[in-house]
Amino acid sequence: MGMMNSDERAVAVIMVGGPTKGTRFRPLSLNIPKPLFPLAGQAMVHHPISACKKIPNLAQIYLIGFYEEREFALYVSSISNELKVPIKYLKEDKPHGSAGGLYNFRDLILEDNPSHIFLLNCDVCCTFPLPEMLEAHKKYGGMGTILVIKVSPESADQFGELVADPNSNELLHYTEKPETFVSDRINCGVYVFTPEIFTAIQGVSTQRKDRANLRRQSSFEALQSATRSLPANFVRLDQDILSPLAGKKQLYIYETRDFWEQIKTPGMSLKCSGLYLSLFRYTSPHLLTEGDGSKSATILGDVYIHPSAKVHPTAKIGPNVSISANARIGAGVRLINCIVLDDVEIKENAVVIHSIVGWKCCIGRWSRVQAEGDPSAKLGVTILGEAVNVEDEVVVINCIVLPNKTLNVSVQQEIIL
């Protein structure tokens, strides 16, 4: 079972969303498409892409979204060359729903004649155990396998909750964001399907068209259903595919015991950056910086520093810090749990804790930029948009600061527009 047949091929599809979707990610998404925002020094979408690289016989990776092609062109060509895997960005003309988007590009996706199609969401952070999922999927013999994780019962209702057979792992019941508690196992937004998924999606839109025709001929206009307003080719993966097919020996689950988070806000991106840094310890230790303060800065825990960044040897950095290209970190600076983006200057003896420092920001001498560090609280992480200037000896606590502001007095608990 372990060996792939030589004629088996896989393709991977990563859903990257669009500019109207990432609004909770402002002010950071004002400068860069959210999927390209760096976590642990690599674009958000890099993490699922590099996980796809481990899928046996991978023919192609497609990114599907609403961003303009030019916003992804540079990234796609460079990552394609770096990982030596063909990657294409496909722009949706209008929303087709999570399954409809896949169906929209079915001809391209099926071009390589794949026996398996992986579908991943770009804004989830996990270890993406794709080869293991594929093994399980082939053993189950169903149409699809869903990555799931067990969460605390209090938080489960924010996601798709599911019930599976404890022995066979068959998906028995699926509800998207239920009103009452269903289960503490949730959908991680990572799937592997056989090409039959396209027949299932087509079935949903055919059914819609039939219903619409029936409605025209009958006087049941008053009994409008919720699906009435949905166009035939708008198909949602969860409500239209997973829920109806549960309990029909078509869908199965694979449970991850590692971490999983959804990256909806800048605060969560800081937490996820830390999770990916800790994962690098095992997968890519060469990306992490070491240092004991003798010749270079003192490094504590997991830290990524871009080779072009300049860090003074008396600085103390970590845990969970990532520093992007051409940043300059001065003498005596202390950085804890933060993301420092390209071209930032942090002057001597400044302190940055639980914060994201946007592109081209400047933080003055003896200043402090910090927060309480709760990634799910509205102001739990301090965020400085692009080119914010914090003057010397200014303290910024629990704030979100929009681009191009100068702060010359201390502020806390504020959104600075």
Residue 72 in contact with residue 89, Cβ under 8 Å?
yes
Residue 87, beta-bridge partner list: 61
Cα(9)–Cα(57) distance, rounded to whole angstroms?
Answer: 5
Proportion of the chain in helix, strand, coil states, percent, rounded to 5: 30, 30, 40
Looking at residue 99, the DSSP 8-state letter turns out to be: H
Looking at residue 177, the DSSP 8-state letter turns out to be: S
Is 0.85 surpassed by the pTM of this model?
yes
E strands of 205-263, at which residues?
A: 251-255, 260-262
Residue 381 in contact with residue 356, Cβ under 8 Å?
yes
Residue 239 contacts by C-beta under 8 Å, 6 or more apart in sequence?
176
Other beta carbons within 10 Å of 402: 17
* Burial of 7: CB neighbours in 10 Å, binned 0-12, 13-18, 19+: exposed
Residue 164: closest CA among 151, 183, 180: 183
CA angle 242, 248, 254 (to 5 degrees): 60
Per-residue pLDDT, 219: 52
Handedness of CA 41, 44, 48, 49 (dihedral sign): negative
Residue 415: closest CA among 402, 405, 403, 400: 400
Residue 382: closest CA among 349, 365, 407: 407
Cα(321)–Cα(278) distance, rounded to whole angstroms?
Answer: 11
Cα(274)–Cα(398) distance, rounded to whole angstroms?
Answer: 19
Question: Can you give the pLDDT of all 417 residues of the chain as single tens digits?
Answer: 445 555 689 999 999 998 876 578 889 888 899 999 999 999 999 999 999 999 999 999 999 999 999 999 999 999 999 999 999 999 999 888 889 999 999 999 999 999 999 999 999 999 999 999 999 999 999 999 999 999 877 776 777 779 999 999 999 999 877 677 778 898 999 999 999 999 999 998 888 877 777 766 655 554 555 445 678 788 999 889 999 999 999 999 999 999 999 998 999 999 999 999 999 999 999 999 998 888 899 999 999 999 999 999 999 999 999 999 999 999 999 999 999 999 999 999 999 999 999 999 999 999 999 999 999 899 999 999 999 999 999 999 999 999 999 999 999 999 998
Residue 406 contacts by C-beta under 8 Å, 6 or more apart in sequence?
388, 389, 391
Cα(190)–Cα(129) distance, rounded to whole angstroms?
Answer: 10
Per-residue pLDDT, 1: 44
* Burial of 51: CB neighbours in 10 Å, binned 0-12, 13-18, 19+: buried
Residue 253, beta-bridge partner list: 146
Q: What is the arrangement of strands in the sheet containing 310-311, beginning at the earlier edge strand?
A: 310-311, 328-329, 345-346, 362-363, 389-390, 406-407
